Amino acid sequence: MIVTRFAPSPTGYLHLGHAASALVGYDAARAAGPTGRFLLRIEDIDQTRCRPEFEAAIAEDLGWLGLDWERPVRRQSEHMADYRAALDRLDARGLIYPCFCTRRDIAEAVSAPHLQRQGPDGPIYPGTCRHLDQSNRNARVAASEPYALRLDSGRAAMEVGPLVWHERDEGSIAVDPQIFGDVVLARKDVRTSYHLAVVVDDALQGITLITRGRDLYAATHVHRLLQALLGLPAPQYYHHALITDAAGQRLAKRHDAMAIRAFRAAGEAPETIRAMIGGGLALSRKSL
């Protein structure tokens, strides 16, 4: 059985890059025959930026493209208890800790040459608050200081040992558990992060094949680590090429001209959008 999903954040309109991800997952599920399933998930943990009108527009545009999905749709904002339970399990094993550093604190810390480690997104947090004693942590939390909950990636790596993930058309990829350092899994005011929520959701929804853009390839190191720590199934992955603009830059939500509704308003047909995305993004049938 192949179970795929498309998981947008409703912070803007669906654009050509989003459509590519949705179509790759949808086509992979359909290519699997009667047992293929395609799900839609709304990743709306950032309630300051997510809007109901964008969620409605996403569903409308997907339908116009000819996609259908199973109901009900899972919305992350309705399942915070699931993420809290995962955090509690990690906390009980001493794998997370509160970090009270501000962005300025972190910038100053990583400016020291002996502390500079580079990750996919730039300098890696040096673990300043990892060394605070428990009484200090408790007092600062009780005083309502802002904090983030970080994963102790070194300790986590020791617990799980060597890991791999399976990338379609590439094979086994060795996991680097510390590629992003001690990643943030939640904050005081936002009780989960993308990394934690997506791993929990994929397991609860029975996702067997994750299709997404190449820009999330490095994040898979973190996701596979969390799967192992939480005893969750390891799906297979396919990271497709990115849709870029004329300058070769990855499409983002600011590219209003590439919004699907702009193409619709211009009288384009769904088949035109598929042709623009191109067959090169399709998951090869030989690997299904």
Q: Residues 113-120: what's their mean pLDDT?
A: 73
Q: 252 — phi, psi (to 5°)?
A: -130, 175
pLDDT value of residue 273:
87
Structure tokens of 58?
């996403």
Helix H or strand E encompassing 25: helix 16-31
**What confidence category does residue 118 fall into, taking pLDDT thresholds of 50, 70 and 90?**
confident
Sheet holding 70-75, edge to edge: 3-6, 37-42, 70-75
Protein fold of 1-78+243-288:
Rossmann fold (3.40.50)
pLDDT value of residue 247:
57
Closest by alpha carbon to 226, among 271, 187, 264, 193? 193
Q: Is the pLDDT of residue 284 over 50?
A: no
Strand partners, 211: 238
Q: How is 197-218 classified by DSSP, letter by letter?
A: HHHHHHHHTT--EEEEEGGGTT
Number of Cβ within a 10 Å radius of residue 236: 15
pLDDT value of residue 180:
95
Q: What is the DSSP letter of 172?
A: E
Measured CA to CA, the distance from residue 199 to residue 108 in angstroms comes to 32
Measured CA to CA, the distance from residue 213 to residue 242 in angstroms comes to 6
* pLDDT tens digits, one per residue of 247-274: 555 655 555 657 899 999 999 999 988 8
pLDDT value of residue 182:
97
Q: Give 176 or 243, the one with higher predicted confidence.
A: 176
pLDDT value of residue 286:
43
**What confidence category does residue 113 fall into, taking pLDDT thresholds of 50, 70 and 90?**
low
194 neighbors 45 (Cβ within 8 angstroms): yes
* pLDDT tens digits, one per residue of 18-62: 899 999 999 999 999 999 999 999 999 998 899 999 999 999 999
Measured CA to CA, the distance from residue 32 to residue 235 in angstroms comes to 16
Task: Note whether 1-78+243-288 and 80-201 share their fold.
Answer: no
Structure tokens of 202?
């994929």
The answer to whether the peptide bond before residue 126 is cis (omega within 30 degrees of 0) is no
Class assignment of domain 80-201?
alpha beta
| Per-domain residue ranges of the chain | 1-78+243-288, 80-201
- Half-sphere exposure for 126 (CA within 13 Å, toward CB): 16
**Beta strands, E only, 91-218:** 96-99, 118-119, 122-123, 148-151, 164-167, 171-174, 184-187, 209-213
* pLDDT tens digits, one per residue of 185-240: 999 888 999 999 999 999 999 999 999 999 999 999 999 999 999 999 999 999 99
Cβ-count burial of 132 within 10 angstroms (0-12 exposed, 13-18 middle, 19+ buried)?
A: middle
pLDDT value of residue 254:
53
Q: Residues 147-154: what's their mean pLDDT?
A: 97
- Return the percentage of the chain with pLDDT > 90, whole number: 74
Q: 98 — phi, psi (to 5°)?
A: -80, 135
The rounded mean pLDDT for the chain is 90
pLDDT value of residue 100:
97
Q: Is the pLDDT of residue 133 over 60?
A: yes
Q: Residues 124-145: what's their mean pLDDT?
A: 93
